[in-house]
């Protein structure tokens, strides 16, 4: 009888150790980007959130028009809100990633977002357009006006 009482707790212990969990693994949800709070921030505006650099809703996504001087030097930039909130900041997947005119580039959001670079081929006004959503893919395109 004593062996049975010892076997029961031992078998329960062994069963508990071999069970696989069926609990879902928590996956952090990407915060929803508030495009109406976004600014194009870079060396051309001293990285500040100035009203002239706030994105506007258009038929092709969110955009901002910026006059840039072609001096063969790249302009570093990112997108973020006025407070540089990590979940609202998007940029390149690695530091110094260059984007060319009329080339689409996928944006990386969050703490790992690095500065992007654009070297304008001529002095002009350029439109920076962002399309998509962070849950799928955000794409940046730069065109000359």
State yes or no: pLDDT of 16 exceeds 60.
Answer: no
Q: What is the mean pLDDT of residues 65-85?
A: 98
Range of the domain at 93: 35-144
Answer yes or no: are the C-beta atoms of 39 and 142 closer than 8 Å. Answer: no
In a domain, 30, yes or no: no
CATH of the domain at 116: 2.60.40.3620
- Considering the entire predicted model, what is its pTM? 0.79
Name residues whose C-beta falls within 8 Å of residue 33's C-beta, 6 or more positions apart in sequence.
88, 90, 109, 133, 134, 138
| Residue-level pLDDT at 135 | 73
pLDDT > 90 in the chain, percent: 74
Split into its structural domains, the chain has a count of 1
What distances in angstroms separate CA 115 from CA 67, 75, 82, 111, one per listed residue? 19, 10, 17, 12
* CB atoms near residue 34 (< 10 Å): 11
Q: Report if residue 23 sits inside a domain.
A: no
Domain-located, residue 132: yes
> Is residue 98 in a domain?
yes
Q: What burial class does residue 122 get, using C-beta atoms within 10 Å of its C-beta: 0-12 exposed, 13-18 middle, 19+ buried?
A: exposed
Q: Scan for tokens 């693994």, then name that residue.
A: 25
Over residues 43-58, the pLDDT tens digits come to 999 999 999 999 999 9
Rg (CA), the chain: 25
Q: What is the pLDDT of residue 136?
A: 77
Q: Tell me the per-residue pLDDT of 90-139, one tens digit each, with 9 for 90 and over.
A: 999 999 999 999 999 999 999 999 999 999 999 999 999 999 987 778 99
Q: Does residue 90 form part of some domain? A: yes
Please indicate, yes or no, if residue 24 is contained in any of the structural domains: no
* 4 domain residue, yes or no: no
Flag whether 12 is in a domain: no
- Per-residue pLDDT band at 12 (split at 50, 70, 90): low
């Amino acid at each position: 009888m004593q062996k049975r009482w010892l076997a029961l707790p031992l078998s329960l212990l062994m069963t508990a150790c071999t069970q696989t969990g069926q609990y879902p693994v928590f996956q952090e949800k990407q915060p929803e980007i508030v495009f109406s709070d976004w600014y194009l921030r870079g060396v051309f505006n001293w990285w500040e959130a100035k009203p002239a650099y706030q994105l506007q809703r258009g038929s092709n996504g969110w955009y901002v028009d910026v006059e840039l001087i072609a001096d063969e030097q790249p302009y570093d930039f990112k997108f973020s809100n006025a407070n540089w909130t990590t979940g609202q900041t998007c940029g390149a997947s690695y530091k110094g990633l260059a984007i060319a005119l009329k080339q689409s580039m996928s944006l990386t959001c969050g703490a790992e977002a690095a500065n992007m670079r654009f070297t304008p081929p001529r002095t002009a006004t350029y439109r920076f357009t962002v399309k998509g959503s962070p849950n799928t893919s955000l794409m940046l395109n730069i065109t000359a006006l």
